[in-house]
Amino acid sequence: MENQNLEQPSQIIVQNPSLNANQGKKGLPSVGKRSKRIFLILIALIIGVILIIILISNIQNGSKNKPADTNTTPNNQTSTQSPKPIPADLQNLNTQIEQAEKNLLDPYQDESKLNPPLVDLKVEF
Amino acid sequence: MLKIAVILFLTVSLLTANYSPPVAPVFAQTTNKQALDDYFFQLEIYQDSHSDFVIARDSYKQFGTLASKTEAFNKTKEYLTQVTTLLISYDNAIITILANNNGLTNEQKDPYVLKVKDHKTNFGNIQIRINQIKRLEDFNQIAGDIETEKQIHDENGKVAVELSKIGYINSNILSLNQYIGLIDVKISAAKRSGKNVSYFEIGPQEIRKRLTSSNELVAKSLEIIASTDRTASGKVALADQNLSEAQKQLLEATSFFKEIIRNLI
- pLDDT, one tens digit per residue, over B172-196 is 999 999 999 999 998 888 888 888 7
- Listed in sequence order, the residues at least 6 apart from A36 whose beta carbon sits closer than 8 Å to its beta carbon are none
**ipTM for the assembly:** 0.78
More confident residue, A15 or B186: B186
Alpha-carbon distance values, B12 to A24, A41, A93, B2, B25 (Å) = 35, 17, 40, 15, 27
Beta strands in B108-155 (DSSP E): none
Packing angle, helices B28-63 and B66-99, rounded to 10: 160
In the predicted model, what is the mean pLDDT of residues B218-238?
A: 95
Q: What confidence tens digit (pLDDT) does each residue in A24-61 have?
A: 444 555 667 778 888 888 888 898 888 888 888 777 76
Task: Decide if A101 and B251 are in contact by the 8 Å CB cutoff.
Answer: yes
Chain A residues contacting B via beta carbons under 8 Å: 40, 43-44, 47, 50-51, 54-55, 58, 61, 84, 86-87, 89-90, 93-94, 96-98, 100-101, 103-105, 107-108, 110-111, 113-114, 116-117, 119-125
B247 touches chain A (CB under 8 A): yes
Cross-chain residue pair B76–A123, CB shorter than 8 Å: yes
Task: Tell me how far apart the alpha carbons of residues B85 and B210 are, in angstroms, rounded to a whole number.
Answer: 44
> Is B112 part of the contact surface with chain A (CB cutoff 8 Å)?
no
Shortest Cα–Cα distance, A31 to chain B (Å): 18
Q: pLDDT over 90 for what percent of chain A?
A: 25
**Count of beta carbons in the 10 Å neighbourhood of residue B160:** 24
- Among B13, B18, B22, which residue's Cα sits nearest to residue A54? B18
pLDDT of residue A79 exceeding 80, the answer is no
Is B86:B123 a contact under the CB 8 Å cutoff? Answer: no
Q: What is the pLDDT of residue B200?
A: 85
Q: What would the DSSP string read from start to end of A26-73?
A: H-SPPHHHHHHHHHHHHHHHHHHHHHHHHHHHHHHHHHHH--TT---S
Is 70 exceeded by the pLDDT of residue B23?
no
Q: Give percent above pLDDT 70 in chain B.
A: 89
Q: Is pLDDT of B30 > 80? A: no
- A/B interface, count of CB pairs below 8 Å: 133
User: Given pLDDT bands bounded at 50, 70 and 90, which one contains residue A12?
Assistant: very low
User: For residue B2, is pLDDT > 90?
Assistant: no
Q: Rounded CA gap, B105 and A16, in Å? A: 89
Mean pLDDT of B239-264: 95
What pLDDT is attached to residue B63? Answer: 96
Tell me the average pLDDT across B134-141. 96
Flag whether pLDDT at A84 surpasses 60.
yes
* Across A26-40, B63-77, B230-244, least confident range: A26-40
pLDDT of residue B3: 61
Q: Which of B171, B138, B159 is nearest to B224 (CA)?
A: B159
pLDDT at A29: 55
The confidence band for A89, taking pLDDT boundaries of 50, 70 and 90, is: confident
CB B93 within 8 A of CB B31: no
More confident call, B251 vs B265: B251
Which chain A residue has the Cα nearest residue B14? Answer: A51
The chain-wide mean pLDDT, for chain A, equals 70
Sign of dihedral through CA atoms B230, B231, B232, B236?
negative
Task: Please tell me the pTM assigned to this model.
Answer: 0.69
CB contact under 8 A, B265 and A84: yes
| Longest CA span, chain B | 94
B54 pLDDT exceeds 60? yes
Mean pLDDT over B103-126 rounds to 97
Partner-chain contact A123 B140, CB within 8 Å: yes
Q: Amino acid identity of B25?
A: P
Mean pLDDT of A113-119: 95
Of B19, B136, B154, nearest to A125 by CB-CB distance is B136
Contacts of A49 in chain B (CB under 8 A): none
pLDDT-derived band at A3, boundaries 50, 70, 90 = very low
Q: Could you tell me if A124 and B140 are in contact, meaning their C-beta atoms sit under 8 angstroms apart?
A: yes
The CA distance from A114 to the nearest CA of chain B, in Å, is 7
Higher pLDDT: B251 or A61? It is: B251
Q: Is B154 close to A100, i.e. CB distance below 8 A?
A: no
What gap in Å lies between CA B123 and CA B129, rounded to an integer?
A: 10
Residue B204 confidence (pLDDT) above 70: yes
